[in-house]
Amino acid sequence: MIEHIGPQLFNGLVLGAFYAIVALGLSLIMNLTGTINMAHGSFMTLAGYLAYTMVLRKVPFGWALILAPLIAVLVGIIVERTLVRPLYKREPFYSLLMTFGLSLMAEEAFRLIWGPNGVPFSPPPALAGAASLGFMQFPTFRIFIVVVLLIAIAALALFLTRTRFGLRLRAAVQDTEMIAALGTNTQVLYAVNFSLGIFLAGIAGVLAGGMLGLSPTSGNALLMPAFVTVIIGGMGSLFGSIVGGLLVGIAISMTTLFIPAASEVSMYVLMAIVLLVRPRGLFGEEGIFG
Amino acid sequence: MSRPVLNRRKFVTIAGAGSAAAVFGIPAYIPRVGEAADAIKIGLLEPYTGVYAGPAENETHGFEMAADAWNKRGGIMGRKIELVKEDEQNDPGVAAQKARKLVNQDKVAALCGTVSSGVSLSVAGVANTLGTLFMDSGGHSDDVTGKSCHWNVFRTCHSTWMETHATGYSLQKRFGKKWFFITPDYAYGHSLEAGFKDVLAHNGGSIVGNELTPLGTTDFSSYLTKIDAAKPDLVLVFVQGDDYTNCLKQMNQFGLLKKYPVGGPQVELEPLLGLGPEARQGYWGVEWYYKSEKTLGKNNKVAQEFVAESIKRYGRPPTARNAFGYITLDRLAHAMNDAKSVDPVKVARAIEGVHFTSIFAGSAYYRKEDHQLMWPMWVAKIRPNGTPGDKYDLFDVTDINAAEAVEQTIAQKEAVCKLGYPGA
């Protein structure tokens, strides 16, 4: 049993990185506009299917990894503009219901376009093998995933802290009305912010398609752990989403090792403990949950 | 920011819309007299939305082919067959409701369909209460023709017992006796596990690992890392659908498919097509196959026509699911025709025990004692890339197992199953 702990920890980190990047997208959108985007998983699946279609048409995997999320962002902008924006002024409940409905429609649309069964989407041959990590053989594609996700997270951090636009975005999270009064076009802020979230989801979607499977429901399977991640990390905190994601990933992989039947439940137990001890989440702002 | 409130006008709009829907909904409950009054209606319950949408569609195609074939010949006793389809959403509760609706409202003569065993059992129960026939085309749990059997319920696809014993015997001969299980942690998985354990109990051998994975597991890495330590002769994969695709894909990424033989009680064409060729491997149970003399029989005209017509209509070869649908409705129609009646008891008596030939090799019959269709169960080796010119041709069928050799005996079944015919 002991010899499995090292590899399991690593598996947990890969899984955690996924949850973290999905949760980051959710947090971005939630923080600025209060929208709980239930359709986030659908955007992941969409990007996955787009990348699959591109690779079928001989587009190199690397390009598909960038282009597919960008097309998903285009769809995201249209959705934000036409469906989500009119609901910003209402309670979060409305946009939650709307995006939930959207995710159901998207699932059936994927079924109509790409068929009800999963499709074969494999990583390129260069990433298909296994590499030695010293203590174990580990799939090259998983190592690649960790690297890509780390780059994406670092780029997001730089964007938010080092660019003028990023600073405006963070300021708007704190006080949208003041930012608007100071002459910033908040509608553009909303759109860019939504796009950023979708772009992160898109990258995760393409990578998940290659590592796990790609079917009409595959994105939604990653959505629930991502919501749990946001709550554990603390609403309002992007850093919290990263830490929360890794914690959830490790919790799931460790319970799988010792009590497999409890693997699904372990993240909820973790969430319950965090909420009992620290209701606002690990890095959350005070006042959201008390 | 304006606070949203429920004001009077909004309330009136919502209430108005609601009551309008209620009013206009009512005519649906008036039986549509005159409309194809002499057709025999058959209710088809399939999970058209959700994870089993693929198999549901294929079973439906099989039902449609059988209905059209009968209608072209003039129908049953001169009456056309009309299929009434309902989406049971892979939910036992919804399925029960829809079954009642089909019987009470649409006045169907029999119910058919289902993919997931939980739903099959639910429909079987409702059909029994209503005294209507239910032909389970695609739910595999032993209980349907075992401890939950009913006089009005027949099952076309194989039982899990048949699947596990057919593949268990075949695989043990090839690979040896130390087995590692990857089991989905719900009723279906546990009954597969029990079946394979029974094979080991008969022939000797041991289980060196049994990983219970929750339904819908996306990441199998935690379970897979344990395989290397256990050093099995064979890895048996019981998970189905998307879980199957995920599991095999990840076994390949971890390099396990190169080290250990892999197999399982059943694989359908649908999830295999969702896997890249590099992860298509092993020996698997097969319930029917469109391109092998072993499954179709030599010069079986009916089977050849069925395959050719399916490809023409739907643009791809039929799967085992298409076959389940076709066989199910074809037999039901034969029985109604033979009984010259749609009376459930008479039709049931006309189905059971009758030997027939169909779109598979040899003859078969729905066993009188438990209403299980006794037809062969095959085992195939996978061809990762199909054959030249046919990307669907993924199975090289190697073994045929006679139903009687792999299903529980009549004595075993009689100990748990009481059909309970009315008045019997």
Go through the domains of chain A in sequence order and give each one's CATH number. Answer: 2-277 (1.10.3470)
What ipTM score was computed for the predicted complex, to two decimals? 0.71
Nearest CA in chain B to A117: B54
Q: Does the pLDDT value for residue B56 go beyond 80? A: yes
Note whether A60 and A239 are within 8 A (CB).
no
| Cβ contact B253–A119 (<8 Å) | no
pLDDT band at A286 (very low <50, low <70, confident <90, very high): low
Q: What is the pLDDT of residues A174-209, one digit of tens each?
A: 888 888 888 888 888 899 999 999 999 999 999 999
Summarize the confidence of residues B299-319 as an average pLDDT.
Answer: 95
Of A151, A119, A118, A145, the C-alpha closest to A131 is: A145
Residue B142 has pLDDT above 80, yes or no: yes
* pLDDT reading at B13 higher than 70: no
The pLDDT tens digits for B195-248 are 999 999 888 889 999 998 887 788 888 888 889 888 999 999 999 877 888 899
Comparing B38-158+300-372+410-424 with B161-286, is the CATH topology the same?
A: yes
Q: Is B158 left (phi over 0), alpha (psi -120 to 50) or beta?
A: beta
Kindly determine whether residue B242 and residue A215, on different chains, have CB atoms separated by under 8 Å: yes
Architecture of the B38-158+300-372+410-424 domain: 3-Layer(aba) Sandwich (3.40)
Please write the tens of the pLDDT for every residue from B247-271.
998 999 888 998 999 999 988 877 8
Q: Which fold has domain B161-286?
A: Rossmann fold (3.40.50)
Check pLDDT > 70 for residue B32: no
Chain A segment 77-136 residues within 8 A of B by beta carbon are 89-91, 94, 108, 111, 115-122, 128-130, 136
Query: Alpha-carbon distance B154 to B136, whole Å?
Result: 6
Interface list for chain B against chain A, based on CB atoms closer than 8 Å: 1-2, 4, 49, 51, 53-54, 57, 185, 211-214, 216-219, 221-223, 225-226, 229, 242, 245-246, 249-250, 253-255, 270-271, 273-279
When mean pLDDT is compared across A44-48, B64-68, B273-277, the lowest value belongs to: B273-277
Position B354, amino acid? V
- Confidence check: pLDDT of B61 > 70: yes
List chain B residues with CB under 8 Å of A208.
218
If we measure between CA atoms, which residue out of A218, A203, A208 comes closest to residue A62?
A203
Report the Cα–Cα distance between both ends of chain A, in Å, rounded.
41
Query: What separation in angstroms does the CA of A126 have from each of A60, B161, B337, B365?
Result: 12, 42, 61, 52
In this predicted structure, the answer to whether residue A113 has a pLDDT above a threshold of 90 is yes
Kindly determine whether residue A91 and residue B4, on different chains, have CB atoms separated by under 8 Å. Answer: yes
Task: List, in sequence order, the alpha helices (H) in chain A.
Answer: 5-33, 40-56, 61-79, 92-114, 140-162, 164-174, 176-181, 186-211, 218-233, 238-258, 263-277
Collapsing DSSP states into helix, strand and coil, what is residue B112? strand
Does residue B44 have a pLDDT over 50? yes
Nearest Cα residue in chain A from B280: A120
Structural domain boundaries in chain B: 38-158+300-372+410-424, 161-286
- The pLDDT confidence band at residue A89, using thresholds 50, 70 and 90, is confident
Residue B9: is its pLDDT beyond 60? no
